Amino acid sequence: MKFGGLGIQHTQMKNDALLAKQAWKLITKPQGFTQSILLAKDCTEQNFLQVQARKAYTWTWKSTLCGGDICCQTFKFGMAAMYQWNEIHSQLQLAGASTLGFLPLKGRGLLCLEIQCKGGLYVSTSLKVRVLVSPGLCFHQLKSAPLCSPRAKFMAHTLGFTQPANIQHPKISFAAKEIDVAEWKGDILAVGVTEKDMSKDENYKFQNSILKKLDGLLGGMLAEASSEEDFTGKAGKSMVLRLPSCGSKRVGLIGLGKTASSPASFQRLGEAVAAAAKTAQANSVAIVLASSEGLSNGSKLSTASAIASGTVLGIYEDSRYKSEPRKPKLNSVDIIGLGTGPELEKKLKYAENVSSAIIFGRELVNSPANVLTPAALAAEASNIASSYSDVLSANILSAEQCKELKMGSYLGVAAASANPPHFIHLCYKPSSGPIKTKLALVGKGLTFDSGGYNIKTGAGCSIDIMKTDMGGSAAVLGAAKALGQIKPPGVEVHFIVASCENMISGTGMRPGDIITASNGKTIEVNNTDAEGRLTLADALVYACKQGVDKIVDLATLTGACIVALGPSIAGVFTPSDDLAKEVFEASEVSGEKFWRMPLEESYWESMKSGVADMVNTGGRQGGAITAALFLKQFVDEKVQWMHIDLAGPVWNDKKRVATGFGIATLVEWVLKNSS
């Protein structure tokens, strides 16, 4: 259901009526309106709203969303007199709108207003409003626009006319087969080879049985070409040849290194095959390991899953914001020699679900801050809940509701932005069976971080990619999407994001200000650029109040962690050895890299304030550790807690794109806690 003029969008949520009424109350209730809402069964039907008032102004709104006009709306507001601009303006502020400008219309004594509607329950969108004097009643008709992609439909631009393109990526069909590789017909037959597989006898013939068979079909050309190309099977190297006399149009050899046993190595195999498929514009691919005899049945399942995941992620390109987006052609992948049957099919389906969630997370991080506002992020979360409403529910808290919960730390960060904060809480509960474990995943959700009054300046400040500062929330919401599809039993999971922007204005917090978190602890802000921990403080308190047993928070928190561990490894901080073991076991399956860091309690001395309970930053030394110690102050001692600093691996600086880091590990961890 869409309310285009206000930018309100919701699809088939259990509490649609309540959300819509709450949104309209912000504008209509102060003016004494009565309204009735007819909800649509789907987003193609018309929705009606009737507003009644004794004397009214008529506002005509024309908005654009997803690249086209949604609707023109006309309705009447009961304002006492035209000159009461302050009252109109106050209602716009209640609705989360900011005025861009107004001017009189010649000869009519009217106002022409241009506003941005950004707050409450609605998605940001640009609106033009004309205020006219007209008494009486009015019937307001809203017509829904066609849906765009899952991401695009909730991302309404607020600046620059930017809209993500509606790209429907082709779904890759995976099949597990046990056939002779010589019999397979298609575009590319890709063979994963180790350095040992590439060894040749004294006659320069392959000793590996699969390579020997393929080379025989090709009259020795495969061995000859590998020698000429000096291809030895090293990791990261590949060779793709277009050769006659074979069922496939091309044969590719993909290097796996000296050995290949980890999920990460087989995921890289899938990524390399995807790269070859893109280059050749291939529709169909088969993947086989030159040596798979030594793999156990369990290893074959995980290997096939990793290959499938790597292929999906490798073929994907985020071209939504390019004027000429490209569409990959690959739609069929056969995995040969790793078995068949329902268990393997289930594992391939799991890989598809997790990969889809990783792509979702990547698109969230890749989206610029003028598109992915806190309201848009909240709408994305609501869309996940509505898509899997049998197991997921959404509760989006407004700034007013956060004030009632005394979230002074979070709201202090949000105070400077024209885009209002949105506190996101999704809850996963299986549709049946008992709950044995309650978990919380908390993600940092800064859709943009300017640094505040301690503005990011100078070389290495990375202000140009501060749209990535919501990478933790992308991991959390991506995990929610995957778990909504997988539906594990016996576990309840809370997904929590305190989303906002860290900007600069006269209403913003200043260095030296003292703010109070929702657990009553006071914080002297000695650096406004250490804002993520301030938002997480109230989010962690909120998570503990949900009665959870374990909490994992994820945040692009410190540059210090990148300095310590580089761009590919996330830092892990936890006082719980048991929780650390669980997460690291999950990471072995996902292939993502983590390293446990110390929680050195003596470093807390640098975080003490002379006038408050603590400051929000310590010295330069051990910055990632003191940040983790700060977060620890807001976690109940009875709850097992882990902080993951993913500032490095959330972003691929070479390709200038997001990685979707953390999602696969979080899903595996939740499944390990499932009965």
CA angle, 626 then 639 then 598, to 5°: 30
Q: What is the CATH number of the domain that holds 180?
A: 3.40.220.10
Please list the ranges in the chain whose pLDDT falls under 50: 1-157
Residue 463 and residue 585 in one domain: yes
Torsion angle defined by CA atoms of residues 654, 657, 663 and 665, in that order, rounded to the nearest 10 degrees: -10
* 97 occurs within a structural domain: no
Judge whether 105 lies within some domain: no
Angle at 60 between CA 56 and CA 61, to 5 degrees: 135
CATH number at residue 615: 3.40.630.10
Nearest of 188, 169, 181 to residue 273 by alpha carbon: 188
CA angle 629, 496, 353 (to 5 degrees): 115
pLDDT tens readout for residues 307-337: 999 999 999 999 999 988 777 889 999 999 9
The answer to whether position 149 is within a domain reads: no
Residue 80 lies in a domain: no
Claim to verify: residue 356 and residue 334 sit in the same structural domain? no
Residues 387 and 486 in one domain: yes
541, 568: one domain:
yes
Same domain, residue pair 287 and 370: no
Range of the structural domain that residue 252 is part of: 173-319+327-340
Q: Letter for the amino acid at 575?
A: P
Residue 72 φ then ψ, to 5°? -110, 135
Which residue is catalytic, options 29, 130, 234, 456? 456
In whole angstroms, give the CA distance from residue 483 to residue 353. Answer: 9
Residue 63 lies in a domain: no
Same domain, 604 and 467: yes
- CA dist list (Å): 298 to 305, 344, 666, 668: 11, 10, 21, 16
User: Is the domain of 379 the same as that of 455?
Assistant: yes
Q: Do 474 and 552 sit in the same domain of this protein?
A: yes
Q: Are residues 336 and 369 in the same domain?
A: no
Do residue 438 and residue 522 come from a single domain?
yes
What is the C-alpha separation between 590 and 344, in angstroms, rounded? 17
Q: Name the residue with tokens 């900011």.
A: 98
If asked whether residues 332 and 354 sit together in one domain, one would say no
**Burial level of 34, CB count in 10 A (0-12/13-18/19+)?**
exposed
517-562 pLDDT, tens digit per residue, is 999 999 999 999 999 999 999 999 999 999 999 999 999 999 999 9
221 belongs to a structural domain: yes
**What is the distance between the alpha carbons of residues 440 and 553, in angstroms, rounded to a whole number?**
8
Q: What is the pLDDT of residue 294?
A: 76
Q: What is the per-residue pLDDT for 327?
A: 79
Catalytic residue, candidates 153, 268, 347, 533: 533
- Number of domains comprising the chain: 2
Considering the domain boundaries, does residue 574 fall inside one?
Answer: yes
Residues 457 and 596 in one domain: yes
Cβ neighbours, 10 Å, residue 520: 10
Whether 312 maps to a domain, the answer reads yes
pLDDT at 245: 60
Q: Answer yes or no: 456 catalytic.
A: yes
Rounded CA-CA distance 532/469 in Å is 8
